[in-house]
Amino acid sequence: MKSRIDGLDVELLPRSRTDEDGVEWALARAGEALQLVIHVRPGGEELLDDFEGRAEGDARGTLLVGPTSPRNAAGLRRRLSWLTPRPLGTATSAGLGDRLGLATPGHVRAVRTAGAGLRPIFAQQSIREMSRTGRTPTDVMDDATWGVFGEGWREGVGADADHLKTPEDIDACLAAGFSFFTIDPGDHVDPTADSADAEALRAIVAALPWPELEDTEGDLKARHLGRTVVVEGLQLRFDEVTLLRAAAKYGRAVAHVARMDRHLRRAAGTRAVELEVSVDETETPTSPAEHYWVASELKRLGVEWVSLAPRFVGRFEKGVDYIGDLDELETDLAAHAAIARQLGPYKLSLHSGSDKFSVYPIAVRQTRGLVHLKTAGTSYLEALRTVAALDAGLFREIYAFARERYETDRASYHVSAELGRALGVDEVPEAGLSSLLEQFDAREILHVTFGSVLTERADAGGFRFRDALLGLLAAHPEVYARNLETHFVRHLQPFVQ
């Protein structure tokens, strides 16, 4: 619906319009920019103190037109309860990460199209991704807020502060309003434990931070050594090597999670928050016995969590389908899901879950819906698909640059793409550019180089690619939203119960 407001020709986004206690709220598009529109009746002007913008009044009330600023986003979350992130509990859920800040409208549409029964997280980004894209926790929260408001989503949302490693990470994300905190203790996992012999394992375990674990080596052995645990027919026997390997590999990680959890609870005070534990970014899988040991030790330390991400068998690489034996994965998932039911219940979390289409039915079947899907970079790839359709020259430049950066940027990811297997930028006709996003190697190359692409400086100032990329998507929001909706419905439909 087009209108003229405050001297501007604007188009009100119809799904954003709402009336709460006599206050009218809407989001409007003026060219490529979005504007917040608020109308209050006479006597209600005090509400506008929470907002910034140009206000004009008459006998019918006061109209404020303001920018999509942090102050206005925070004011909206205070006034419209459905925009405030909240814990989602053990319901089937999905996190839809957005590295550009423009994907939420498409994400919301995909959730609607997929059907009822799935709890969404629209604000989701890891600290690592924030640093690589030059965004802050507030940026991530606010961009999702505007997307949810514009699409009129009122069914509740979570907000995932992903892969947090320090108390400072927690504080920054808590201040921005996040409700879901994913603790990543990967730096404290000992990878040598998988291949260490019994003598080496004994030495590692003896050196664990026992005061932080509120434990002793003797008490640990008294609780677990020689014990056989039965979990829904699965037998886990803790002989000496199995116990020592679990403690050596994950003991320091357990201590770190407990420290982070206690800091979060103190800092959050009376605010409702929830915790996820992630040990997925390791070289070797988490065995069922190791999962059981980690979960039981976290429980002993009083940690409460809603989901846990083990390192499953096979390879969960970025932006591509599962690599490995699906029957073996199903057996592995079944064991982990049984443990999660018995020691929780809590959800299993599928990290690097983007585009794992062959895995989704297995995960839903074995977890019985106690599952959280986490996606991130696939939304960036859909942005590049949009670019390929609208500006072939820009896409070619980005792909050529991504190839230059790949060998450096792949270092912090588990990926197996090779430059030699990916087509060169000049080998693809303009009409087939988007086909690069279907080719394994090219897709991973584009996926993991996002940070370099978005932060590369231009000689004349500004950003070489970022400004053009964001400008193009802002000028064609419906094209990007349609691409995202089509892509994400494939992700979400298997999880709808």
Span 74-106, pLDDT tens digits: 999 999 999 999 999 999 999 999 999 999 999
Q: Phi and psi (nearest 5°) for 90? A: -95, 10
Give counts: helices (H), strands (E), the chain: 17, 17
pLDDT at residue number 5: 63
162: annotated active-site residue: yes
- Angle formed at CA 382 by CA 377 and CA 387, multiple of 5 degrees: 125
What pLDDT was estimated at residue 377?
A: 95
Q: What is the DSSP string of 202-245?
A: HHHHHTS-TTTTT--HHHHHHHHTTEEEEETTEEEEE-HHHHHH
pLDDT score of 412: 84
The answer to whether residue 460 is domain-embedded is no
pLDDT at 124: 98
d(CA 158, CA 344): 20
DSSP 185-202: -GGG--GGGGT--HHHHH
Q: What pLDDT is attached to residue 461?
A: 87
Q: Which domain holds residue 23?
A: 2-69
User: Three-state SS for 3?
Assistant: strand
336 located within any domain: no
74's tokens: 């925070």
Q: For position 430, what pLDDT does the model report?
A: 86
Total structural domains within the chain: 1
Neighbours of 245 (CB within 10 A): 24
Which listed residue (162, 281, 297, 317) is catalytic? 162
| Residues in contact with 446: Cβ distance below 8 Å, sequence separation at least 6, in sequence order | 319, 381, 384, 398, 399, 402, 436, 437
| Residue 181 CA: distances (Å) to CA of 66, 75, 95, 452 | 31, 23, 12, 26
CA distances from 485 to 34, 144, 332, 365, 490 (A): 21, 16, 31, 24, 9
Low-confidence ranges of the chain (pLDDT < 50): none
Domain-embedded: residue 330: no
On whether residue 126 sits in a domain, the answer given is no
CA atoms of 494 and 364, how far apart (whole Å): 7
The dihedral region occupied by 17, where left means phi > 0, alpha psi between -120 and 50, and beta the remainder, is beta
CA–CA dist 110, 489 (Å, integer): 5
Are 96 and 484 in contact by the 8 Å Cβ rule? The answer is no
Is residue 187 annotated as part of the catalytic site, yes or no? no
Residue 58 lies in a domain: yes
Residue type, 341: R
Burial class of 294 by CB neighbour count within 10 A (0 to 12, 13 to 18, 19+): buried
Q: Under a CB-based contact definition with an 8 Å cutoff, are residues 285 and 249 in contact?
A: no
User: What DSSP element (H or E) covers 67?
Assistant: strand 61-67
- Compute the distance between CA of residue 334 and CA of residue 362 in angstroms, rounded to an integer: 9
Catalytic residue among 98, 139, 215, 276: 276
Dump strand ranges (E) for 279-392. 307-309, 347-350, 371-375
